[in-house]
Structure 1
Amino acid sequence: MSLNIRRLNGDDPGFAEQLTQLVAWTADFDQNVHQTVLEILGRVRQEGDAAVLAYTRRFDRLDRLSVAELEFPRARLEEALTTLPTEQRQALENAAARIRAYAERQKLASWHYRDELGNLLGQQITPLDRVGLYVPGGKAAYPSSVLMNAVPAKVAGVTELIMVVPTPGGEANRLVLAAAAVAGVDRVFRVGGAQAVAALAYGTETIPQVDKIVGPGNIYVATAKKLVFGQVGIDMIAGPSEILIIADGTTDPDWIAMDLFSQAEHDEDAQAILLCPDEAYLDRVAASIAKQLPGMERRAVIRTSLEKRGALIKVRDLNQACEIANRIAPEHLEVSVADPEALLPELRHAGAIFLGPHTAEALGDYCAGPNHVLPTSGTARFSSPLGVYDFQKRTSLIGCTALGASPLAETARILAKGESLTAHARSAEYRIKP
């Protein structure tokens, strides 16, 4: 099956500019979407349940839905879990256990010490009180996202976890509800879209206000999260899925082709790139792509993604591959080489690194343990995967003794006067021992 995937060479004079153009991603600003979301946020803030119900009836085709039916009873979640096929239930529970075991190692601990003056200095760690989790519904049903967002929140000690999930036409995904039961979600509402984000951010008579909103969604959800940020915290604004593979030419090309497909199948804007110093191996992967693509269920999406934003790039050596990887700062980085750990010191920017040919990115998506909520669009240069720390707060502790306060107050007095902040200076002066 003929496919026109871009071929580049890292040593070409114009490569730097070609790479910049290849990885550039800015979501198109849609004024109509922005205005629609602003209206929804304003109406929910003013009208509460009435607005949420009106939008849910309209967008999810639930004409007879009542306020009392917005929340799924706890028994419904438990029923979804107990009626799952054994294989699916075991897979959910196994994945949740692995995610939980990894998350337990991420917990931050409070600490303090006393300086030479006897002053107590430290940091207190506390969990968020209430978090909102947005989960896509309808055709896009992701129980894995429920686990990846909910389990770390509960490990962090979040008191109440509120999940919102749309049910278009009244259809609730049983696997999603079962995942909520496994992960320990406290309450679940059948609400989606910008109205769900608004309800979580502002609170309504039925849906409680939260401190932070996490989870993926469409452009309306992403826009709503941007607009309520500040009123509440958010996890991140995610761009299209990405995979970058560094290969040395020893992995079965069919494996590499399918790993590229695994991200390209997400949507037409997803990005899949392969770096390898062996030109002949790039040819073999290209042949495998052409061979395997016709058998893929989402072949049209994969084709568009690969032709639009994909690339097979010839590099001078693995060191140059690492340099390019750091420039791209990909969401997922597969290191499919004989000694992947040897390259780790050179790889500074990536959401997650998958070491060795047997470590398919798909394993990380579901059950390896580390979180699959990762920075995209180059933001791995300065941000990190979702984790327990995203559901904990750090509070500074300062406790001065009478003796210890005096020299600090003298320093503070001098600096405050230099800033012309008289009250600051005098407040400090009261603590100076004569």
Structure 2
Amino acid sequence: MNDFEFLYNPPRKDWAKLCARPVNEQEDLSVLCKNVFDEVKANQDKALLGFTERFDGVKLGSIYATDLELSRAAALVDPQLVLAINQAYSNIYKFHKAQKPESVEVETTPGVVCRQEYRPIERVGLYIPGGSASLFSTLLMLAIPAKLAGSNEIILTTPPLKDGSIPPAVAYVAQLCGISQVLKLGGVQAIAALALGTEQTKPVYKIAGPGNQYVMAAKDYAVQLGIAIDLPAGPSEVLVIADASANPKFIAADLLSQAEHGPDSQVIFLTTSEDLLERTFEALKELLVGLNRKDIIKESLKSARFIYFNTLQECFKFSNAYAPEHLILALDQADNYSSLVLNAGSVFLGHLTPESAGDYASGTNHTLPTKGYARSYGGVCVVTFLKKVTFQMISQQGLDLLAPTIETMAKAEGLEAHALAATLRKTRGGKL
């Protein structure tokens, strides 16, 4: 691993360049997505089986995982992992249950009552990535809030293993969360199946879950067909802000944990301590030696940023400009600085709060906005699977008070029928 270039108080004019995410040469995937979606629409399950063999090298007899298949796969999970998953489930459930919003009712004018209530998105699709690692933890992060929201049809899709089976931990979590519709599909064809439906499933109303560039392109394509998605999500990223009180090995481990997600992941380290900058880099080299994904990490670290600022205020300004998916505040009394955080997906406070806690088991959600979208998006939560519905009810007194306002505004916009609808109801002038 080559030495990094340490940056010292970079001027504001350079921040946009420093905040840019790594860019891989990517083909235009819109044509691929259109071709896959069109083929799936025309030939349904036959097309899905064909694409799975073509793209994943797996020849399936059926894209549907049976209850027996799920039970057998779930039984293969190591008992220690079962205990860990159950603990994570409990914490995630507790935190997300507390997020359920309450209805709001307000009398805006005497006799005019407005109410807002929440309704579940009835049919949702959850995409769980496979590839180099089967992210069963992501299923916890998606299925639990969807269930708490009241979504009554949840379709899970995940790439099959090379033998055509479902990854055991994914099967266990699916059963734990009460999901019975499981499709053995990955990539663009999986999103097409969720958006268009299959021979045994209906199209979903919303698709949630992260994925690679092909999955994200497919989700964008599904939006054009009227299917909602959770949020824009790309390669993982972390930004650490630390002062002299921080432990360099803790920071190095956090940076490495993000870098191992993939070669296009990004890590940024900001500090007010020049000594910590050097010591953290040395810790990175030391800890990297024993990791099994070191080749991926080394590729990811090529785009790492190590930056010294004179003040924590400058660190926070840079962080807000970058808008990280994960933000770690390795500071004494870190919670005192939380008000300075404007743009971040999830924040980890203090020296004893690793980012991996949020990835797995603290209770917060790890499906978060990346690529700067934390400026305008939050992470997945119960509300992701809810929609707001407003109600209004007006009495005669309320209508008499409100009608002049309605009439005046409608006539000013040239919409006379709008005005008439209120006029006819005034003091029951138009009563039957």
Shorter-chain TM-score bucket reads over 0.9
For 2:291 and 2:378, locate their aligned partners in 1 and report how far apart those are by CA, in whole Å: 32
Matched position secondary structure for 1:295 = coil
What is aligned with 1:46? 42
> Which piece of structure 1 moves more, 188-197 or 297-306?
297-306
For 2:45 and 2:149, locate their aligned partners in 1 and report how far apart those are by CA, in whole Å: 30
Aligned length: 426
For 1:216 and 1:138, locate their aligned partners in 2 and report how far apart those are by CA, in whole Å: 12
One-letter amino acid of the counterpart of residue 377, structure 1: K
User: Given that residues 210 and 234 in structure 2 are in contact (C-alpha distance below 8 angstroms), is that contact kept between their aligned partners in structure 1?
Assistant: no
> Which piece of structure 1 moves more, 50-59 or 278-287?
50-59
For 1:125 and 1:29, locate their aligned partners in 2 and report how far apart those are by CA, in whole Å: 42
**TM-superposition CA deviations, 1:296-328 (whole Å, max 9, x none):** 2222222222222x1111111222222222121
For 1:35 and 1:241, locate their aligned partners in 2 and report how far apart those are by CA, in whole Å: 26
What is aligned with 2:301? 306
Q: 1:100 aligns with which of 89, 93, 97?
A: 93
For 1:8 and 1:421, locate their aligned partners in 2 and report how far apart those are by CA, in whole Å: 61
**TM-superposition CA deviations, 1:76-96 (whole Å, max 9, x none):** 323333332210111111111
Matched position secondary structure for 1:330 = coil
Give how far 1:413 is off: 1.6
What is aligned with 1:403? 397
TM-score by length of 1: 0.93
Q: 1:26 to 1:359 in 2, by over 3 A?
A: closer
User: Given that residues 138 and 173 in structure 1 are in contact (C-alpha distance below 8 angstroms), is that contact kept between their aligned partners in structure 2?
Assistant: no
For 2:189 and 2:50, locate their aligned partners in 1 and report how far apart those are by CA, in whole Å: 10
**TM-superposition CA deviations, 1:59-88 (whole Å, max 9, x none):** 33344x34xx32112233233333322101
Q: 1:28 to 1:293 in 2, by over 3 A?
A: closer
One-letter amino acid of the counterpart of residue 233, structure 1: A
Q: 2:185 aligns with which of 191, 205, 225?
A: 191
Q: 1:342 aligns with which of 319, 336, 339?
A: 336
User: Given that residues 4 and 307 in structure 1 are in contact (C-alpha distance below 8 angstroms), is that contact kept between their aligned partners in structure 2?
Assistant: no
User: Given that residues 7 and 307 in structure 2 are in contact (C-alpha distance below 8 angstroms), is that contact kept between their aligned partners in structure 1?
Assistant: yes
What is aligned with 1:224? 218
What is aligned with 1:247? 242
Give how far 1:168 is off: 4.6
**TM-superposition CA deviations, 1:366-422 (whole Å, max 9, x none):** 001000011112211111111000001100111111221233222112111111122
Give how far 1:236 is off: 1.5
For 1:417 and 1:212, locate their aligned partners in 2 and report how far apart those are by CA, in whole Å: 39
Give how far 1:171 is off: 3.9
One-letter amino acid of the counterpart of residue 230, structure 2: D
What is aligned with 1:276? 271
User: Given that residues 22 and 264 in structure 2 are in contact (C-alpha distance below 8 angstroms), is that contact kept between their aligned partners in structure 1?
Assistant: no
For 2:230 and 2:182, locate their aligned partners in 1 and report how far apart those are by CA, in whole Å: 19
Matched position secondary structure for 1:72 = coil
Give how far 1:51 is off: 2.2
What is aligned with 1:33? 29
What is aligned with 1:16? 12
Matched position secondary structure for 2:302 = helix
Give how far 1:26 is off: 7.7
Q: 1:260 to 1:139 in 2, by over 3 A?
A: closer
What is aligned with 2:289? 294
User: Given that residues 64 and 182 in structure 2 are in contact (C-alpha distance below 8 angstroms), is that contact kept between their aligned partners in structure 1?
Assistant: yes
Unaligned runs of 5+ in 1: none
For 1:304 and 1:56, locate their aligned partners in 2 and report how far apart those are by CA, in whole Å: 29
Give how far 1:149 is off: 0.7
> Which piece of structure 1 moves more, 50-59 or 231-240?
50-59
Determine whether 1:236 maps to 2:231.
yes
Determine whether 1:174 maps to 2:168.
yes
Matched position secondary structure for 1:71 = coil
Matched position secondary structure for 2:133 = coil
Give how far 1:114 is off: 3.0
Q: 1:158 aligns with which of 151, 158, 161?
A: 151
> Which piece of structure 1 moves more, 388-397 or 199-208?
199-208
Q: 1:146 to 1:414 in 2, by over 3 A?
A: same
What is aligned with 2:363? 369
User: Given that residues 151 and 183 in structure 1 are in contact (C-alpha distance below 8 angstroms), is that contact kept between their aligned partners in structure 2?
Assistant: yes
Matched position secondary structure for 1:58 = helix
**TM-superposition CA deviations, 1:24-81 (whole Å, max 9, x none):** 1386684542211111112222332232233233333344x34xx3211223323333
Unaligned runs of 5+ in 2: none
Determine whether 1:133 maps to 2:129.
no
Matched position secondary structure for 2:102 = coil
> Which piece of structure 1 moves more, 142-151 or 163-172?
163-172
One-letter amino acid of the counterpart of residue 3, structure 2: N
Cα RMSD (Å) of the superposition? 1.9
One-letter amino acid of the counterpart of residue 85, structure 2: L
> Which piece of structure 1 moves more, 423-432 or 325-334?
423-432
**TM-superposition CA deviations, 1:253-286 (whole Å, max 9, x none):** 1111111111111122211111111111111112
TM-score by length of 2: 0.93
One-letter amino acid of the counterpart of residue 178, structure 2: G
- Report percent identity of matched pairs: 35
Determine whether 1:201 maps to 2:195.
yes
Matched position secondary structure for 1:22 = helix
Matched position secondary structure for 1:188 = strand
